[in-house]
Structure 1
Amino acid sequence: MMEYNLKKIFSQVTPGTVFREGLDNILDAGTGALVVLDANDTLEDLIDGGFEINCRFTPQRLHELSKMDGAIILDGNATKIKYANVHLQPDKSFKTNESGTRHRSAQRVAKQTDNLVIAISERRNRITLYKGDFRYKVKNLADIMIEASQAMKTFERYKHVLDRALQNITLLEFDGMVTLSEVVTVLQRFEMLVRIRVEVEHSIIELGSEGKFLEIQLEELFKGVLKEEENFIRDYINLGLEEEFGAAEVKERLLELGDLELLESENIAGALGYGRSAATFDMELDTRGYRILNKVTRITRKDTEKIISKYETLSKILELTEEELMEIRGISMFKARSIKKGIKRLKMTAEWEK
């Protein structure tokens, strides 16, 4: 499903678009249709019969032309009707698992030309999208809204779980009591939230203009999550095993894991560069401090890099005086004071929210 840009595919057929209005008119009339968006100009050899129109697209014209048996060919942006009542003759070497003639042709044309093909079933009263090997049955607006709302509730619940896990590990970081087990749990929470977000986004894309409120809500809830995950990975990645091994490589390893594989702690530990034995999970780890320091206002990311480059771990940084911090190039008295006060405030907040 991710082989294609889903947003681009759904953008032309989502509720609220002129093209979707035309498709819904056909659906409501129960006439059925086969519509091809010829973005690649690859249909010439597949077209037989019919007639050339070359007129501006309107929902009404699409509806009227659907009353004929043949396929309707539009341009790639669905702004112009090129042909109507044509018979499509795709190469039968392209396999199809559809049963109806219209849907079999639609699937073969989509595979052969990589164009977006829409089949509207008069018997099943359903719109099906095809593009390459991608196939999707479009849901009605009410079903999509219910699905999107449920997905958003799941996302909110997992965001709360992640926030609680981060609060817990923040306290452990200040106390110097973090083990690999806690690190794996938090990273697992991050990745589960990222994957749930993708599912919510799919529903929002299908809703089109009707999903604007949910889209704003999702963006607000997810704000800063990816950056915090990157900092978290940098805090605990095992740099001793591999050269040129960073947060991007860890993310790639995590993306390769299936949903069930993500639930296995050994796979998360392996992605971070640690061993997979049960004894390894009791290993104590000292955070480098990227996540904590990046929450301190008035210091830049560059300042954080300098501090960690010199002192390596958060435990050492916590012991520094303002004068010792000022010895680092670029750290002024104002910044040193902000670091000390900011870290103290973060610790108090974590304790208070527990």
Structure 2
Amino acid sequence: MTIGVLSDSLLRAMIERGEIAADPAITPAQIQPASIDLRLGRIAYRVRASFLAGKGKRVSERLREFEMHRMVLNEDGAVLEKGCVYLVPLMESLALPDGITAVANAKSSTGRLDLLTRLITDEGVEFDRIPEGYHGPLYAEICPRSFSVLVRPGMRLNQIRFRAGQATLTDAELKILHQQEPLVDGPAVIDHGLGFSVDLRPSEGDLVGYRAKPHTGVIDLDRIGYYPVGEFWEEVRTRDGRIILDPGAFYILVSREAVTIPPDHAAEMAPYLAMVGEFRVHYAGFFDPGFGHGASGGSGSRGVLEVRCHEAPFALEHGQVVGRLVYERMAQEPGQLYGKDIASNYQGQGLKLAKHFQSV
């Protein structure tokens, strides 16, 4: 098989061969240009701590150590409470052939709700990474950080991407790609990926982001464009290009750069060096082929930054580099592109909250 991230047609072939299985069967809506959405099953286990199965152990065995109680997920929904950790068996399972690995990440709307969602597997020793040859079930670990959420079976909170061989572009290859098709609307900072910075000097007004309120109601994840922004978020404004991040607070900001993912490539958001600040900018990490490609104005789409500050207050400055995009080649160009052939909530975006909130 050609080296690279597997496209939609190759994912369908894996499904036909039984290498990706599900009960009930995978639907067409789950198949994205370079990934498959994963669905919650019908039981949620409240566990006392996050855990990995570990070498030689099954998740079901470790649950006996960590389970506190379980909830049946039905069409009425069940509330996953802020600050608690849950484990939910997924409807999908894998029988990966040799040479194919997988990586999972939260979907965009999941990350923008500060809904920490990670994949774990039997014998797993790290989150979200699945080695070649894995045969077994998949589980989602879910920890709502800012808002309690109402979930139902079949909801899609995370997604999985499959790779054949080493698909990541070197910096030299990334520079060549940028020369062929500009990946960013401005100078490209290429150092172990394409660097991007935070925009704290908007072209209009002084609104630069949002901060999650500490005490809010429950968010039903099936309700789109429903919730008033002011009930869940505080506006973050500045006129001097600087904000102070509070420890433990969650922010939605936006990148200064507009980025483009060519149709024959994909990308993953990766954290920047920990030495640059006491914060994390890395929750929902997949950028599909076509993101920003052909966007309105032809200059790409800006990336929304999901930022959590750690131990100490931190002064974040306009233009400060806060993350990087790692580009990967596709094994083949997908039959559908983000923002062109599929419904895409965030193509051509600027500063934008999750799709559950009313437009502002």
More strand by share: 2
Specify the structure having the higher radius of gyration (Cα). 1
Determine if the TM-score, normalized by the shorter chain, exceeds 0.5: no
Q: TM-score, normalised by structure 1?
A: 0.22
More helix by share: 1
Greater relative contact order (CA < 8 Å, ≥ 6 in sequence): 2
